[in-house]
Each structure stands twice: as C-alpha cells, then as structure tokens.
Amino acid sequence: MMRRNVLNKVALLLLCALAGVTGCSKDPDIFGSDVITEDVAFIVPRGWPAPVYNFQNNTLSNAGFELGRKLFYDTRLSRDNSTSCGSCHQAFAAFAHLDHNVSHGIENRLGTRNSPPLFNLNWHPSFFWDGGVNHIESQPINPIQNPVEMDETLQNVVAKVRNDAVYRNMFRNAFGDETVNSQRIFKAMAQFMGMMVSANAKYDKYVRGEPGGAMTPSELSGLQIFRAKCESCHKEPLFSDFSFRNNGLPTTSVNDSGRAHITRDAADLYKFKVASLRNLKYSYPYMHDGRFTTLSQVLDYYTSSNHNAAPIDTAIGTTGIPLSEQDKVDLLSFLNTLNDEAFVKDKRFHEIQ
C-alpha cells in the first residue's frame, strides 16, 4: 500500500515538473533526521529538463531508498570489508573524496582518477570521466570489482548480504520477498543515489525568484561572464551538457586518454565529461585527476595557453579564455552561489550512526 502511494506521488510530481506547473513545486526541506519519516519522492526541480532516469522499472520507496543507503555505506561490499562507496564519496564533500586527488581504495591502492561528486545523477546520460558506463543501475559493478577500489566479486557481495538477517528483512520490505541478488542490490543503490538532487543553491533561488536568491553586483557580473565564456560546456541548470570535451589540460605521466579509452577513436583523445560546477566549495580538488586544489588555479589554467597536444575545444581556443583579474573575482563569486549547503547537510543521505 505504501509503495503504491509513493508511486502515485512520484508520478504526480514528475508530471507537474515536466509540465512546468509552478504550484506543484515543493521546496525540499532540510531533513533534520536520518530517520525517513515521510515518503521519499523524486522531484524534478522547476525549470529543469526531464531526467534521463526517473525510476522507470525501479519503483521508488522508503524501504528501497533505506536499503540503498545501507549498501552505500557498507564496507562489506569490499574484499577486506574496509571500504564502502561512502569512503570515497563523502557526504560533506558533496559525495566526492575530500582532499584526495586520486582515489584510494582498499589496502591504500591508488587509482588514477579523482572521485567525482555525486548529485543530480539521474540527468547523466553516462557515468565516469570517460562515460564508460551508461546506466545508473549497472554503475556500482565497476567500483566493486575494480582491483584498486573495492576488489570484490559480485558473488561474494551477494553472499555477504544474504547472510545478514537485517538485510534479508530490508529486501523483503523493499521488494516483497527476501531474495537477495545483484540486480536488487543495484536497484536499491540507484534509488538512494538517484534521490540525491542538488537544486537549492543561492543560484537556484535566484532563478526561481525565491527568498535568499538576491545576487550581489559581483555575482551578477560573474553570471554574465559565465554565460559568455563557460556556459557552452557547463550548461545551466545542471552546469554540464554531459558531453566529452578536450579542455586542454596538459598530460601527466599517467597520460589518461579520457574518452578515447572507451571509443578507441583518436578524435576523442583527452576528452573528459564536462564536470558540473555545483558544490565546488565541498568537492575539491578539481579535474579528472584532482590536479587543482583551488578555483583560482582552475581560472588561471583556463586563461593560459599551456595545452595538451590534441586539438583543444573551439569554445576555449589555443590561446585560452581571456579573463581580466576583475572577471576572475566576479566568476569566483558567481561559482560560490552554486554551493548547496542544504544538500550536503541533508541527513537522509548521511550514514546512520
């Protein structure tokens, strides 16, 4: 019965959002508790495009969401029971890995890429810096099996979860019976991760004309500069068009080929998925390998002409993006309006202590 209610609510909210009906939009509250007291509902923020994934074939429910949360924070998903998804995707870092340039997996094994922040995933047509995975429900296979991340087999994960009576009960609540299989594990995790919507930054309030959205002259000037010089890739309101572009970053000893690693097409050399610019305050360091610690370094890079050997995107050009010192100050103030404190503090997404 509860699941039916949730379904109706989700369907209604989706309809509202897609139709752009203003009266339907509900400002998501900051939940003060990690106990889920009201039905979880996926709300498409007003004015946003339709998501790629909207829980079709994966009925959203409180029980499914809570199961997904438990799995996300469970270190038993790794071979030596040391590392959970939440180890590299930390709530207070907008689900990136704070202060780590490249990922640290079990036994301190190092990866070559920076943990991206996790939010608004339902709008991503593909995942990872190179778009190597294209479905949110199959995405967790990769970190679980990756030798430098969790280094575990799906079979073992399923066995560990199945052996736990608390889990079996949660599977019954979420899916109607106690069957534990990888498909259900991934569906529950998709419910948890897909619910992570970040749409309550000052910028969002400004766009929606809500209280708290008044921008300063510097922020407004930054928005103008942003729209002229960054928007063609970092498209509003998600601040990414999710395309793969070569923004010119000089190669390092790792020589990460980016999108070309997947397509094997030389034309995709050094192209990476355009990163969202939301929540940058929490998710440093920046870029696919975490090479920049501060946003000033990022802007200094964009104005430089120090580039890799592949053709740089024409939206940047070989001489870099011209920005005056004042432009940089204003851009930084604008980027600061994209930090969504309500999202990082939303206890629904935190580990239950």
Residues that bind ligand HEC (CB under 6 A): 72, 77, 83, 85, 87-89, 103-105, 111, 113, 115-116, 118, 121, 124, 127-129, 139-140, 143-144, 149-150, 189, 193, 229-230, 232-234, 245, 247, 249, 272, 274-275, 277, 280, 283, 286-288, 295, 298, 302, 313, 315-316, 321, 331
Min dist CB 39 to ligand HEC, Å, is 23
The set of residues, in sequence order, having a beta carbon less than 8 Å from that of 14 and lying 6+ positions away, is 42, 44, 54
Nearer to ligand HEC, 128 or 171 (CB): 128
Q: What value, to the nearest 5°, has the Cα angle with vertex 126 and ends 105 and 74?
A: 35
Min dist CB 100 to ligand HEC, Å, is 8
Region of residue 272 (left: phi > 0; alpha: psi -120 to 50; beta: else): beta
Extract the tokens encoding 205. 């309030």
Nearer to ligand HEC, 3 or 89 (CB): 89
47 within 8 A of 237, measured Cβ to Cβ: yes
Rounded Cα distance between 203 and 215, Å, is 8
Rounded Cα distance between 148 and 165, Å, is 30
Min dist CB 75 to ligand HEC, Å, is 9
Nearer to ligand HEC, 44 or 338 (CB): 338
Min dist CB 70 to ligand HEC, Å, is 12
Min dist CB 238 to ligand HEC, Å, is 11
Region of residue 80 (left: phi > 0; alpha: psi -120 to 50; beta: else): alpha
Rounded Cα distance between 106 and 38, Å, is 36
Min dist CB 158 to ligand HEC, Å, is 13
Nearer to ligand HEC, 171 or 282 (CB): 282
Rounded Cα distance between 114 and 284, Å, is 9
The label of the residue with tokens 């009906």 reads 21
Question: How many CA atoms are closer than 13 Å to the CA of 81, on its beta-carbon side?
Answer: 4
- Closest-CA residue to 335 (of 249, 244, 221, 241): 221
- Closest-CA residue to 198 (of 230, 239, 235): 239
241 within 8 A of 125, measured Cβ to Cβ: no
Nearer to ligand HEC, 5 or 153 (CB): 153
Nearer to ligand HEC, 16 or 249 (CB): 249
Nearer to ligand HEC, 187 or 288 (CB): 288
Min dist CB 13 to ligand HEC, Å, is 23
Nearer to ligand HEC, 174 or 274 (CB): 274
Nearer to ligand HEC, 17 or 193 (CB): 193
Min dist CB 333 to ligand HEC, Å, is 12
Min dist CB 131 to ligand HEC, Å, is 8
Residue type, 212: G
Extract the tokens encoding 196. 């992570």
